[in-house]
Amino acid sequence: MIALVQRVSRGAVYIGGKKIASIGQGILALVGIEREDTTKAADRLAERILTYRIFPDAQHRMNRCLEEIGGELLLVPQFTLAADTHKGTRASFAKAAPPEQAQKLYQYLVDRLQQRYPKVHSGVFGATMSVELTNEGPVTFWLQAKG
């Protein structure tokens, strides 16, 4: 399971021009799900997203996590993160989970995060979304969890 996490001062998701979710300071995480992913991987990824230290401390070092700053989290499903781009000029999605499996695992991840942390918002699985964000730093990390 993959999360491309971005430190943001704001973020929002729109469907058909209508805002469906938005956050202030925190993390916007694009989430990709691969065929071999399980709930164990989702549990590990949830832990990493909440505790990964990407926010500055008093000395301007990235030593604080989302929970420590009380920031918000916006999850956005993005199957293209599971693409294989090693050859040619067109991505292969053979490693991406089928939609039914991916939707279940994505919802499991959202539910787990919401159980643990009160400031979690989500895009809509399978929808065509417009994502708006202001990346601070810029700070972006690729997190992966297996299992």
101 is known as an active-site residue: no
- What is the rounded distance in angstroms from the CA atom of residue 5 to the CA atom of residue 113? 14
80 is known as an active-site residue: yes
107 is known as an active-site residue: no
For 145, the token pair is 């969890």
What φ, ψ does residue 32 adopt, rounded to 5°? -115, 145
Among the options 80, 85, 93, 115, which is catalytic?
80
Alpha helices in 79-143 (DSSP H): 99-116
Among the options 6, 55, 78, 125, which is catalytic?
78
Among the options 6, 39, 55, 79, which is catalytic?
79
Q: How far is CA 146 from the centre of its chain?
A: 15
By the 8 A CB rule, do 102 and 79 touch? yes
- What is the rounded distance in angstroms from the CA atom of residue 75 to the CA atom of residue 81? 13
Catalytic residues: 78-80
